[in-house]
Amino acid sequence: MSKLRQILKLSYCRFYTTQAKKKLPIISCKRPEFNHYEGQSYSKFEGVKLASNGWFHSKSKNDYFIVYGNANKQTETEEREVYKKSFDEIGLCEELKDVVSHLGYTLPTAIQTKSFSPIIQGYNTAMTAETGCGKTLAYLLPILQHILQWKSHVPEEFNSPMAVVITPSRELATQIGEVAQKLTENLNINVSTLIGGKTKQKMLDPPVEYCDLLVTTLGAFSKLVTTGIFKINNVHHVVLDEADTLLDDSFIDKLSYLMKKFKIQFKVEVKTPPMGCQVTLVSATLPYELPEAVNSFMDPQSLRTVTTSNIHKILPHVPHKFIRLGKAQKPVELLKLVQADVNLKRPVMIFSNKTSTCDFVAMFLNENNIECININGQMAVPLKEGKFELYKSGSVNVLSCTDIASRGLDTLRTRHIINYDFPLFTSDYIHRCGRTGRLGSANDCSITNFIAWPREIQLVQKIETSIRKNNELPNVNANIKRQIEARIAKMSSAGI
């Protein structure tokens, strides 16, 4: 019987070796019998054959597989062809057409094309698209076009914006503010950026400025609205950037309290001056329970959903390597990879799940003569400010960070992502990987994942299964689901 198994296994290997000569695998494995090719299917009786299936065993250490995602490339190309419209064809005004042309944008991306019409028509919009595909411009362009139309008809008041972009982090708010400033450099539009850290000082010495578009963090804006320093009577558009984070259990109560202050409409009448306030939700991942999450401050039925074909899938143009390692192997493997990146002058971001691990990674690399800076949520604001700018500007090429650096931060420099700790949730994996392979990035970007713990192996097996079956990644909505389940449990225990 064992001899028959050997013959079958040999025949299986020969078959897929022949297949490999015809085309490259979508999943390439250390053990080639587990390679996966475009169009390959699996018997429902035998199930999906996973390269990571035996990774719970200690003897599986140093096994690996690499996902190239070739199956998605064709879809991406087809979508770009379908939506190859000009900025003029989607309805962008002359002033903004001159701006985007000056900045070197020739055609709108798929998400920019799809989202322009519903936003410009005043609909509440949920915009979901893969990381690095131009979502910031997708909402800024129609908002700026509205402001150009509204400005002469809205009474000018200090600290009274017409549109507000709310983000979960200071770094993201600063980045979006810089993009908005570039777009409005030669337009009659005032852009302000408001971040936390010195909120008490602002209360004692309030800023007094004319502001048409405000980019801000949730905490700082909420406090200054509550104290009356910023007025919201003229706000006709609110954007929640990285909406899945703002709607999770860390922010939802504060966000809901703030959003109830706006006159959110089912659909805003686009006239001058406008009536009511419209909302745009933006993220690379939006939970399936989105209606329940926004129900406290707006009608979920009013949301127009705009997505792209690669939503909730791994980046199709960047190889993802998954390596099974023991805990003690991780520092050595990290040093080897980062040293190679430094030698090739490849900027690299290293993600950890905990602040202590993030600090250890930075200390370990610096002790081995590799200059590395770190960013994490527990770091004091004065220490954190400017650190990402050091990496973004090229002063430092190695950044150790937690998930605080995974959401929305835009740099075309990052060519390698290392997940020193594999994330606990699929949505975090999508966001981390989105820091590389962005629109305009180099062509040789890559992602390396260290897999050491049983929980990590379980998630990797789910991801590998979804890729082999060409499905969306699993449990992208885990964070919101946890929040809703906790609330239901709380209500049940209270007898509600």
Please identify which residue in the block is written with the tokens 């964070």.
Answer: 479
- State how beta strands 348-351 and 213-217 pair: unpaired
Contact (Cβ atoms closer than 8 angstroms) between residue 53 and residue 322: no
Q: Which two tokens stand for residue 356?
A: 């202590």
The CATH superfamily label for domain 110-307 reads P-loop containing nucleotide triphosphate hydrolases (3.40.50.300)
Q: Give me the pLDDT at residue 474, please.
A: 75
Please identify which residue in the block is written with the tokens 């306030």.
Answer: 277
Q: Give me the pLDDT at residue 131, please.
A: 73
Spans in the chain with pLDDT lower than 70 = 1-22, 69-83, 197-205, 287-291, 381-382, 384-385, 408-410, 439-441, 477-496
Q: Give me the pLDDT at residue 44, please.
A: 76
Does residue 273 have a cis bond before it (omega within 30 degrees)? Answer: yes
Q: Which two tokens stand for residue 8?
A: 């079958």
- If we measure between CA atoms, which residue out of 31, 40, 35, 39 comes closest to residue 16? 35
Q: Which two tokens stand for residue 25?
A: 């695998």
| Other beta carbons within 10 Å of 46 | 7
Contact (Cβ atoms closer than 8 angstroms) between residue 270 and residue 459: no
Quote the CA–CA distance of 161 and 214 in Å, as a whole number: 6
The strand pairing partners of 117, in sequence order, are: none
The strand pairing partners of 216, in sequence order, are: 166, 194
- Can you give the pTM of this predicted structure? 0.76
- State the amino acid at position 213 in one-letter form: L
Task: Output the CA torsion 388→394→397→398 (10° steps).
Answer: -10
Q: Which two tokens stand for residue 418?
A: 């290392």
- State how beta strands 64-67 and 27-29 pair: antiparallel
- If we measure between CA atoms, which residue out of 190, 191, 163, 167 comes closest to residue 177? 191
Q: What tens digit of pLDDT does each residue of 334-373 get?
A: 999 999 999 999 999 999 999 999 999 999 999 999 999 9
Contact (Cβ atoms closer than 8 angstroms) between residue 213 and residue 190: yes
What 3-state DSSP class applies to 192? Answer: strand
Which CATH number describes the domain made up of 16-69+314-468?
3.40.50.300
Domain limits, CATH 3.40.50.300, in the chain: 16-69+314-468, 110-307
Contacts of 486 (CB under 8 A, 6+ apart): 249
Q: Torsion-angle region of residue 275: left (phi > 0), alpha (psi -120 to 50) or beta?
A: beta
Quote the CA–CA distance of 188 and 67 in Å, as a whole number: 48
Q: Which two tokens stand for residue 460?
A: 């990797």
* Helix axes of 135-150 and 170-183: crossing angle, nearest 10 degrees: 60
